[in-house]
Structure 1
Amino acid sequence: MATIKDVALHAGVTVTTVSRVLNNRGYISEKTRQKVYESMRALNYQPNELARALYKKQSKVVGVVVPSLLHPYFSACVHYLEKYAARQGYKIMVCNSKRERKSEIEYIEMLKSNKVVGIVLCTRTGELADILDDSLPVVTLERSISDKIPAIMCDNYQGGVLAARCLLDRGRTGIAVFPGQPKVQLPGELRVTGFLDTCRQAGVEPIVVATDESQFAARDYRGTIRAALCAYPEIDGVFATSDVMAAQVIQECAKVGRSIPQDVSLVGFDDVDIASLTTPPLTTIHQPLEQMCEYAVDGILRKLRGETVPVKTILPVSRVDRESV
C-alpha cells in the first residue's frame, strides 16, 4: 500500500508539498498540484481519512446513534441519513446502542474523539443533554432532549387524530389502541393522545392495551395482541402505533379467526416498507421519514456554518389508504 512518502518520491516533491495538496493548505502551483494527483492515481494512494481528520480537527463524517439496526424504522433512518449526507459530500458513522444508555454515552464520546462534524441522535433511553455541549452540532430525530438541541419530528398528535377518524368514519365502536411504554417520554406518545382525544370527542372510549419496552426490543407483540383479541371480542377496530405491531395484529387476527378488514379495521403508523408487504396491505399514517432525515443532515451542516437552526421542527403526516380498513 502506497504511503505519502511514496507519492512524494514519485512526483519529485517533498512530503510537505503532498500534505499541502491533500489538505488544500498554502500556495501550490497548479502544475505541482497536478503532478501530485497523477502520482496518487498511478500508485493508487488512499489518504488516511482518520489521520487527516485528527490533523484538521474535523472530518467529513456525521455520526448517527440508533437504538436498533434490526428495526425497520431505524434501518430506514440510516438509509436516508446516508443518502442526504452523501449529497453534501459527507459520510456517516453508524452506532447501534441496543437501547443502552451506557452504550449511547460511550458512542457519543467515541464520535467526538473521531472528530465527526456532528451527531444525529435517534435514542430511547435517559437524558443525554448533560454530556453534550455547544462544541459539536447535534440534532435529534423523534426525540427532544434539550431546549438548545434541535429536534426533528413528525406531527404525532395529528397522526393519532387521522387514525381515529379513519376508524370512526367506518362506524367502528369497539376500538383498541396498542401504545408502547418507553422508559422515557417520547414525542411518539402524542399519537396515542391524539387518538384518544378524537375517539372520546366522538363518544367512544377506546380499549388501551399497553405494550412495553422489552416487546419493542424483541419486535414481538404477538402474545399481548392475542390476549387482547380474546379478552375483548367486541374489538372491531385497532390502531397499532407502529407498522411492525400492525403486521402482527394481522397475524394474530388470522389465528383467532378474525378477518381484516371485514371483522377488524386496522390502522398502523410509520409507513415503512412492511406496510405494503402485509396481506392485506396496511392502511397507515405516513411519517415523512425521508424529509425528516434530510432536515437532520441539513441542521447539522447549518449549525456547522454557525447558522441558527429551529429548536423544534414538526413535519406533517398523512394517511395512506390500503386494504386493512
Structure 2
Amino acid sequence: MVTIRDVAQKAGVSVATVSRVLNNKGYTHEDTRKLVNDAIKELDYKPNEVARSLFKKKSRLIGLLLPDIRNPFFPELARGVEDEMQAQGIHLIIGNADEKPEKEIEYIQTFKQNNVIGIISATNQAETKLYENLSIPVVFLDRTTNSHPSVFSDGLEGGKKAAHEMIRRGSKRIVLLRGPIELRTAQDRFKGAVDELCDANVDFHVIPSSFSFQDAEKMAKTLFEKFPETDGIIASNDLSAAAILHEALRIGKSIPADLQIIGYDDIPLSKLLFPSLSTIRQPAYDMGREAAKLLMKTINNEPLVQKNIQMPVTFVERQTTRKVEKNG
C-alpha cells in the first residue's frame, strides 16, 4: 500500500510538503506542487480519508444508514447512492441498523467521529428526535418526514394499483398485509389499498406484517389456517410475498388459478421465483441517486427546488396474477 512517505520520497520533498499540497494549506512553489502531483499520479496514491478528515475537520465521506441489509431492496437503494456519490468523488460509510434504535445511534456516532459531511438514512426512525439536533445535513430515503429533505415513492398510488390489479383479475376474498405502523411509507400503501378495496364489491381482511422474511414465514402459515378461502393476497413487500408463495405451493394451492399474489418493491428475486412474482415496482436505484443529489445540494447550500421528492410506481405483471380477460 502506497503511503505519503513513498510520495515524498518519489518527489524528493518532505512529508510536510506533500501534506500541504494534498490539503491545499500554506505556500508551495508551483514546480514543487507539480513534482508532488506527478508522484501521486505515478504511484496511484490514495489519501487516507479518515486521517485527512481529522486534520481538516471535513471529509469526502457520507454516512448511509440502512434498516436491514438482508432485504434485497436496500442494497438497490445503496447502489444508486454509491454510483451518484462516486461520480462526485464522495465515498460511503454504510451502517446496518437492523431496525434497532440503539444500533442506529451507534452508527450516527461513528459517522460523526469520521467527520462525514452528510447522512442519508433509510431507517425507521424518521419521525423520532434522533436527527433533530444533528449539525450534519440529513436526507431521508424511502422514508417521509416534514423535518428533513427526503426521497420516496408514491405509496398511496402503489397501494391503489395493487388492489386495483387484484380486483380486475377476479379476486373476491382478499387478504391485505399491513406493513410497520411506524413507517409512513408503509401506511401510505396500506391506505391506498384499503381505499380501493372499500370501493369494490369484495371481502377483505387485514393482517399486521413486518418487512422481514422470517416473520412472513410464520405469518403465512397462520394466514391460510385463518382464511382458507382467500383467493388474493396483497403483500407488504416482496419478501413477505415470497414467503406466502412458498407456503401456498406447499399446501397445494395452484398459482394464480386458486390464489393471486401481488408483492411490493420489485427486488431482483421477484423475477427469479417460480412462478415469478407480480409486484409494484419502486424505482429503488433511481431513488438512491436522487437522494445523493439532494444531499449534495444541501451540503453545498444550493437552493432546493423540491425538498421532498416523490417518485412514481408501476405494476409489474408476472405469473402470480391472472391475465385480464379482454372483451371482444
Moved more, 98-107 or 11-20: 11-20
Question: 2:73: which partner in 1?
Answer: 73
Shift, 1:131, TM fit: 4.1
Please state whether the residue corresponding to 2:263 is helix, strand or coil.
Answer: strand
Shift, 1:236, TM fit: 1.0
Question: 1:60: which partner in 2?
Answer: 60
Is structure 2 residue 172 aligned with structure 1 residue 177?
no
Question: 1:205: which partner in 2?
Answer: 203
Question: 1:251: which partner in 2?
Answer: 246
Correspondences of 1:156-305 after superposition (within 5 Å): 156-182=155-181, 184-211=182-209, 213=210, 216-217=211-212, 219-305=214-300
Instruction: Sort the Cα spacing of 1:14 and 1:135 in 2 relative to 1 into closer, same or farther, 3 A.
Output: same
Gaps of 5+ in 2: 322-328
Report the Cα distance in structure 1 between the residues aligned to 2:171 and 2:43, rounded to whole angstroms. 70
Shift, 1:264, TM fit: 0.8
Question: How much is the aligned-residue C-alpha RMSD, in angstroms?
Answer: 2.2
Amino acid at match of 2:176: V
Question: 1:119: which partner in 2?
Answer: 119
Gaps of 5+ in 1: none
Question: 1:83: which partner in 2?
Answer: 83
Please state whether the residue corresponding to 1:188 is helix, strand or coil.
Answer: helix
TM-score normalized by the length of structure 1: 0.90
Report the Cα distance in structure 2 between the residues aligned to 1:308 and 1:249, rounded to whole angstroms. 46
Instruction: Sort the Cα spacing of 1:162 and 1:126 in 2 relative to 1 into closer, same or farther, 3 A.
Output: closer
Amino acid at match of 1:238: I
Report the Cα distance in structure 1 between the residues aligned to 2:118 and 2:34, rounded to whole angstroms. 32
Report the Cα distance in structure 2 between the residues aligned to 1:15 and 1:73, rounded to whole angstroms. 45
Amino acid at match of 1:292: M
TM-score normalized by the length of structure 2: 0.90
Question: 1:21: which partner in 2?
Answer: 21
Shift, 1:73, TM fit: 1.4
Shift, 1:28, TM fit: 4.0
> Deviations 1:133-172 (Å, cap 9, x if unpaired)?
4631100112234x23112110001001101111111121
Aligned length, in residue pairs: 320
Report the Cα distance in structure 2 between the residues aligned to 1:219 and 1:85, rounded to whole angstroms. 33
Alignment check: 8 A CA contact 1:84 1:294 kept:
yes
Amino acid at match of 1:233: P
Question: 1:50: which partner in 2?
Answer: 50
Shift, 1:118, TM fit: 0.6
Please state whether the residue corresponding to 2:202 is helix, strand or coil.
Answer: coil
Moved more, 121-130 or 80-89: 121-130
Instruction: Sort the Cα spacing of 1:282 and 1:43 in 2 relative to 1 into closer, same or farther, 3 A.
Output: closer
Report the Cα distance in structure 2 between the residues aligned to 1:218 and 1:261, rounded to whole angstroms. 21
Moved more, 261-270 or 13-22: 13-22
Question: 1:316: which partner in 2?
Answer: 312
Shift, 1:42, TM fit: 6.0
Report the Cα distance in structure 2 between the residues aligned to 1:10 and 1:161, rounded to whole angstroms. 64
Report the Cα distance in structure 2 between the residues aligned to 1:71 and 1:175, rounded to whole angstroms. 25
Report the Cα distance in structure 1 between the residues aligned to 2:19 and 2:66, rounded to whole angstroms. 36
Please state whether the residue corresponding to 1:64 is helix, strand or coil.
Answer: strand
Alignment check: 8 A CA contact 2:179 2:190 kept:
no
Shift, 1:41, TM fit: 5.4
Please state whether the residue corresponding to 1:314 is helix, strand or coil.
Answer: strand
